[in-house]
Amino acid sequence: MLVLVAPGQGAQSPGFLTPWLEDPVFRSRFEWLSAVAGLDLVHYGTEADAETIRDTRIAQPLLVASGLVAALELFPHPADAFGMIGAVAGHSVGELTAAAGARAITAEQAMVLVRERGNAMAEAAAVTPTSMTAVLGGDRDEVLAALARHGLTPANDNGPGQIVAAGTVEQLAALAADPPAKARLMPLSVAGAFHTDHMTPAVDRMASLARAVSTHDPRTVVISNADGNVVHDGRDVLTRIVGQIARPVRWDLCLETMRDLGVTGILEMPPAGTLTGIAKRQLKGVETFALKTPDQLDDARAFCQRHGESSQINTTPTWRMIVSPAKGTFHLDDAASAAAELAARATIGTVSSLRDHTAVTAPHGGTVVEWLVEDGDLVSPGQPLLRLHPMGAA
């Protein structure tokens, strides 16, 4: 199975788009998304220095536009992608890239949202001087205890040996003076304490905007930063992306879900390297590909052919299918099992694992056509559970 991943803020570097923009097709598409964002992203991706593209207002649209246009270079006929991609995931702002790639939202909607996200987060960050520091190595419990001692938030949990601390500049300075044993600290090139309570004003702003965005159920499995669950309702995809602005990124749980899905290959969109580096450490035996420059495209396409396998939810119209959010045991809801029709948001059951119990709902409601699992069945992330015929459909 092939998973495409999109990196988050901090992955950008000066001039990383220069070789890509030599292609006139890439350039024209990129200029279009730049126009939608209202920013000269061509300049920022080729000529601007590191400090300039560190600005949240610039970095976030730059990353999303780069990933989306590179995906069109990788799959010149986008419909071909859904026959090969088993799942998508994005780290932090990369979730917008993933959502657009899965067709939950359009590329233009993603660019408007990321522009406003960057502005809102920059404004929230300007209230108090804040930043983030990667804590590499050390005992996990000791690292978390040290962060709590200094009032810091584990804003990114990227798996064993890599937790990103976020908070005020003073709190991070105190951590540097009193680091966890056997851990190395690496300040990140970001301009705020993202994924913490410092970003709450940005959530409020984005939630208001998101209510006006039309969504579609994704065409392939989307893995959420919130808890690693598979999300198949387009509105839920967007709601989670908005809420994640002020909540920790659980990339460790996303990696667990990839393992549960049986991933064999992970391809990272440009500017690539960060997420494939994490995957190499955490998912031993899984092949990775960091797409950095256009001269790698032929090799990247061969990688996709080698690992490609369409997601289970692409076999029937997605708006009629309810899928499992996680790996575990499915417990059927008694009322749902006896119902001929289900109302929107009705609970159909739960998926239970050693970690948690996740309720499964029917986002759109409809007439029950076929149950695809039974009570007590073991299920995998994204596995179809129930087929519904939409209410009112002919």
Which residues are tagged catalytic?
92, 195
The number of beta carbons lying within 10 Å of the beta carbon of residue 358 is: 17
Q: How far is CA 201 from CA 125, 128, 245, in A?
A: 10, 13, 10
* Residues across the chain: 394
Sign of the torsion angle spanned by Cα atoms 2, 71, 278, 256: negative
Alpha carbons 46 and 61: distance in angstroms, whole number: 14
Tokens of 362: 């029917």
**Quick one: 212 exposed, middle or buried, by C-beta within 10 A (0-12, 13-18, 19+)?**
exposed
The candidate with the shortest Cα–Cα distance to 68, out of 40, 34, 30, 39, is 30
Residue where the block lists tokens 């993603």: 110
Alpha carbons 13 and 4: distance in angstroms, whole number: 21
Beta bridge partners of 328: 379
Q: Are 167 and 151 in contact (CB under 8 A)?
A: yes
The candidate with the shortest Cα–Cα distance to 10, out of 190, 255, 235, is 190
Alpha carbons 230 and 233: distance in angstroms, whole number: 10
Residue where the block lists tokens 């590499």: 136
Residues 6+ apart with CB under 8 A from 79: none
For residue 387, what is the enclosing H or E element? strand 384-389
**Quick one: 249 exposed, middle or buried, by C-beta within 10 A (0-12, 13-18, 19+)?**
buried
Residues 6+ apart with CB under 8 A from 316: 384, 387
